[in-house]
Each structure stands twice: as structure tokens, then as C-alpha cells.
């Protein structure tokens, strides 16, 4: 489908839950941002929704949260989406705490790629940011490298907290992993971010890579001797809205055309009733209303924190 600005919209980011074991300072507010488990859509709801999006030409899907691996029916959801037979790319973003035991079962269910949120390789700093232990995340990371062909790490750097990313660079140097530094967004969290330019100045050995997915927001680099890559995603300072191909569904059934805009369309009733005609109409409406660009450069401050939307 094509929106009113001529962009082909074919990538669905589906948030399965707003629940998470972590309370990352940049993602979730100290209070609020929690969800009631009973309000989450069911596995059948997500599979139905994915099939309707597929019928409209969507070919790429990412499962997010909150923490999607808290869903006990995660394998059912992945398998159901895979069995639609049309999604060329099925991926998932996780904090990694439950990843080690689920890597192989998720791949067998049809998952193609995995992204792991990892903001520091220092256990004390990691715990300061997330409130969680680092060891199970690293276990999940190394298991994912064994199981999946494509593994990415997502990191948000905060000044005076985890602004030294040497440990993350070591992972990119030693493993075929893409470590991506994501610019801090005004999504209800706290802290001051570290810019891509600041990181590039610290590592002059990095050289830009050409080519890649034209719709991808990441700028990729590597260095001599690196098995992996370094990426930068800068939605505030270097907007990639002109090539955006995304639509989001929240865990409670809201269609959100843009992460950096408050517009949401309630599709929960159509999803729960399995009314494909009504849901198709709502998706078409959401795509038509997709804004030309995000509002990150203004005084935007999201009503929902990141963990309640899905990144």
C-alpha cells in the first residue's frame, strides 16, 4: 500500500506486550507506562491481524514489546505468522533475559532474525540502566549468534552513564553482529543522549559501508579486522521519514502510523471480532493518515512511553 506521500508501506511492527522485567531509564517512566495483562490481544488476535496486513501487501514484520518473550504463547504467535506463508522477514526485538532457552524453538517456529537490546557490557552499568543482571543477556546473545544468521544489538548511550561503548565495539570486532547505536528519543524516559558524531569521533578507524536496504534507517560502518558492523540510527538529528515504510500495532489494538506522532486508531474491536473487512478499512485509514514526518524536532513528548508503544 502507498500512503499520501508516495511511500510504500509494507513493514508491520507489532508490540505483543507492554510488560517488561526491566525499567530502563530512557524507555519506561518511573511511574505509569504499565499495562494490564488481561488487556493484551491474544495470540489468535495477533495472527489474524498479521494475516490481514499480509493480504494488503505487507511482507516484513517485527515483534516487539515491552518484552515479547514474556508472552507464554510467543512460539504460537511466531508459528502462526510464519504459516501465513507471505512474510519474507520475520524478526523479534528482545531484552535477552529469556533468550537463551527460546532461541532454537523460535527459529524452528519460523523466526528469521533477532535484535537484542544491550546498552553496556559492564554488569554494574547495565544494572544501573535496566535494573537487571547482565549475565543471562550475554548468554542469550551468544546462543543467538549460534542459532540465527542475523543478529543485531541495539544500544542507547547516555551521557555520564554508559557513554563509553568500548565493550560493545569489541563484540562487533569479534563476532558477525551489527551493533547499532540508537539516538535517544523524547519518549517519556530520562537522560541525555550521545550523538553518532560523538561516537564516530571516538573511533576514527570506522569507515562507512555503501548499499544496503534503502528503507533501513541505519547508517553502517566497519573497520579493518572487524567481523561485524557498527550502525547508527538517528531519528531526531537525521530524520529518515522520507523513506519510512512502517505501521505499528500496539499490544492493546491501536494502529499507530508513526512512532513520533500521537495519532492512534483503535482497531481492537475489529481484531477481537476477527472482522477482516473492518480491520482492512482501519489499516487503510491509518496509512492514509500517516504523517509526512515525525515530531521529534519539536517539543514532542510522548503520552505513552516507549515500552507501551513498541520500538
Distance CA(101)–CA(130), nearest Å, equals 21
Quote the pLDDT of residue 31.
Answer: 43
Distance CA(64)–CA(21), nearest Å, equals 14
Distance CA(106)–CA(143), nearest Å, equals 12
**Has residue 287 been placed in a domain?**
yes
10-residue mean pLDDT profile of the chain (311 residues): values are 95 94 70 61 98 97 96 98 95 97 98 97 95 97 97 94 95 98 71 87 94 76 97 77 92 92 94 98 97 70 62 59
Quote the pLDDT of residue 22.
Answer: 85
Quote the pLDDT of residue 224.
Answer: 96
Q: Say if CB 35 and CB 270 are below 8 A apart.
A: no
**Has residue 159 been placed in a domain?**
no
Quote the pLDDT of residue 32.
Answer: 44
**Has residue 236 been placed in a domain?**
no
What CATH code is carried by the domain that includes residue 67?
3.20.20.70
Tell me how crowded residue 138 is: count the other CB atoms within 10 A of its CB.
18
**Has residue 168 been placed in a domain?**
no
**Has residue 218 been placed in a domain?**
no
Three-state SS letters, the chain: CECCCCCECCEEEEECCCCCCCCCCCCCCCCCCCCCHHHCCCHHHHHHHHHHHHHCCCCEEEEECCCHHHCCCHHHHHHHHHCCCCCCEEEEEECCCCHHHHHHHHHHHCCCEEEEECCCCCHHHHHHHHCCCCHHHHHHHHHHHHHCCEEEEEECCECCCCCCCHHHHHHHHHCCCEEEEECCCCCCCCCCECCHHHHHHHCCCCEECCCCCCCCCCEEEECCCCCCEEEEECCCCCCCHHHCCEEEECCCCEEECCCCCCCCEECHHHHHCCCHHHHHHHHHHHHHCCCCCCCCCCCCCCCCCHHHHCC
User: Which structural domain, as residue segments, surrounds residue 145?
Assistant: 11-150+243-309
Give me the number of domains the chain comprises.
1
**Has residue 175 been placed in a domain?**
no
**Has residue 88 been placed in a domain?**
yes
**Has residue 174 been placed in a domain?**
no
Amino acid at each position: 500500500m502507498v500512503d499520501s506521500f508516495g511511500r510504500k508501506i509494507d513493514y508491520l511492527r507489532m508490540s505483543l506486550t507492554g510488560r517488561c522485567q526491566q525499567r530502563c531509564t530512557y524507555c519506561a517512566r518511573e511511574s505509569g507506562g504499565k499495562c494490564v495483562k488481561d488487556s493484551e490481544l491474544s495470540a489468535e488476535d495477533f495472527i489474524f491481524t498479521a494475516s490481514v496486513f499480509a493480504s494488503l501487501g505487507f511482507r516484513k514484520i517485527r515483534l516487539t514489546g515491552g518484552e515479547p518473550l514474556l508472552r507464554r504463547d510467543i512460539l504460537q504467535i511466531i508459528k502462526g505468522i510464519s504459516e501465513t506463508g507471505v512474510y519474507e522477514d520475520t524478526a523479534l526485538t528482545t531484552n535477552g533475559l529469556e533468550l537463551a532457552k527460546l532461541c532454537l524453538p523460535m527459529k524452528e517456529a519460523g523466526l528469521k532474525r533477532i535484535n537484542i537490546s544491550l546498552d553496556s557490557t559492564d554488569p554494574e552499568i547495565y544494572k544501573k540502566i535496566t535494573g537487571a543482571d547482565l549475565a543471562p543477556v550475554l548468554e542469550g546473545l551468544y546462543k543467538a549468534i549460534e542459532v540465527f544468521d542475523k543478529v543485531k544489538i541495539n544500544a542507547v548511550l547516555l551521557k555520564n552513564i554508559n557513554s563509553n561503548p568500548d565493550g560493545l565495539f569489541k563484540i562487533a570486532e569479534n563476532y558477525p553482529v551489527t551493533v547499532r547505536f540508537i539516538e535517544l528519543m523524547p519518549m517519556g524516559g530520562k537522560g541525555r543522549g550521545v550523538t553518532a558524531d560523538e561516537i564516530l569521533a571516538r573511533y576514527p578507524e570506522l569507515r562507512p559501508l555503501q548499499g544496503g536496504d534503502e528503507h533501513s534507517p541505519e547508517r553502517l560502518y566497519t573497520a579493518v579486522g572487524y567481523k561485524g558492523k557498527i550502525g547508527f540510527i538517528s531519528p531526531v538529528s537525521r530524520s529518515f521519514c522520507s523513506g519510512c515504510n512502517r505501521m505499528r500495532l500496539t499490544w492493546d489494538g491501536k494502529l499507530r502510523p508513526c512512532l513520533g506522532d500521537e495519532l492512534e486508531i483503535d482497531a481492537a474491536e475489529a481484531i477481537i471480532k476477527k472482522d477482516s473487512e473492518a480491520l482492512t478499512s482501519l489499516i487503510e485509514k491509518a496509512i492514509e493518515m500517516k504523517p509526512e514526518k515525525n515530531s521529534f524536532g519539536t517539543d514532542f513528548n510522548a503520552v505513552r512511553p516507549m515500552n507501551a508503544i513498541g520500538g
